[in-house]
Amino acid sequence: MPGYTHLQRAMPVLWSQHMLSYGFYFANDLERLRETAKRVNRSPLGSGALAGNGFNIDRDMMAEELGFDGLLWNSMNAVGDRDFVTEFLQWGSMFMQHISRWAEDLILYCSAEFGFITIADAYSTGSSLMPNKKNPDGLELLRGKAGRAFGHMAGFMCTQKGLPSTYQKDLQESWEPMLDHAKTISDSLQIANGILSTLTVKPEKMKAALDPFMLATDLADYLVRKGVPFRETHHISGRCVAKSEELGIPMNQLSLEQLQAIDSRFGDDVAQTFDYERSVEMRQSKGGTSKARVLEQVKVLKAMLE
């Protein structure tokens, strides 16, 4: 399938490479959540109103019995601290940002202009006016929910910005956004999982969208392997692109003579450059889109999620 930068066709990639890119976003989100849990799972119990407890109770024992990992060590900090809410809202905002970007890609790819995927009817709706429409409402709502999550975070941080130390009633404003945030994330995860598990991928459409111009970098790499510096091969490949545009033909239809007129170092073997599958398989560095590296990424991702 085409890989895109600036929403312009760039280089061939595997569909699995594209989906894995989001897999690693979400794996990092999970790692951040685990780190957040360690940091916020500390007990304030026994701090009193602000000065501590007058009966020398065993705070460590109570924290352990209640499942906390440790204590908030300063009583004034403990009663005024809502960082555990703020940090959760920040985490959720980043997670929902990733959900939103993922949803946007699928919204584009299910459009007639791309046609790479079809969203199941359960997550689509028709139009009240146009019988031909099949709208990706589930994905659009996921994208919209990201704004709701950002609002939770920004709103609560604004609530706290002018507060003096220790407890103020303003801090009651932490619970509503936190609970709604948790529900928003939970619902979004459920919908995203449903969409992903029921969508239909159309590989023939993805292949049809490939264009020889997307192999211009491979053409430059071909000369690099012959010892020509990439700075130079980049310009040479650019001239090949310009020549094919001038002649109104795909770049892979330029004759060897036409290529050699641009640079004499093109040889008979240059034809193999214009092969999309070969282009994908050439990206063999770690993290690349070759099949072997994609399978390696799957193993790494599974390990991250354990």
Q: Which residues are catalytic?
A: 6, 127
Q: Are 149 and 181 in contact (CB under 8 A)?
A: yes
Pairing mode of beta strands 8-12, 42-43: unpaired
Q: Give the residue among 142, 147, 144 at the shortest CA–CA distance from 102.
A: 142
7: left (phi over 0), alpha (psi -120 to 50) or beta: left
CA distance linking residue 218 with residue 237, whole number of Å: 9
Question: What are 272's two structure tokens?
Answer: 């193999």
For the residues of the chain, what is the DSSP string, one character each? -EEEETTEEEEE--HHHHHHHHHHHHHHHHHHHHHHHHHH-EE-TT-TTTT--TT---HHHHHHHTT-SEE---HHHHHH--HHHHHHHHHHHHHHHHHHHHHHHHHHHTSTTT--EE--GGG-B--SS-TT--B-HHHHHHHHHHHHHHHHHHHHHHHHTT--SS--GGGGGGHHHHHHHHHHHHHHHHHHHHHHHH-EE-HHHHHHT--GGGGHHHHHHHHHTTT--HHHHHHHHHHHHHHHHHHTS-GGGS-HHHHHHH-TT--GGGGGGS-HHHHHHH--STT-SSHHHHHHHHHHHHHHH-
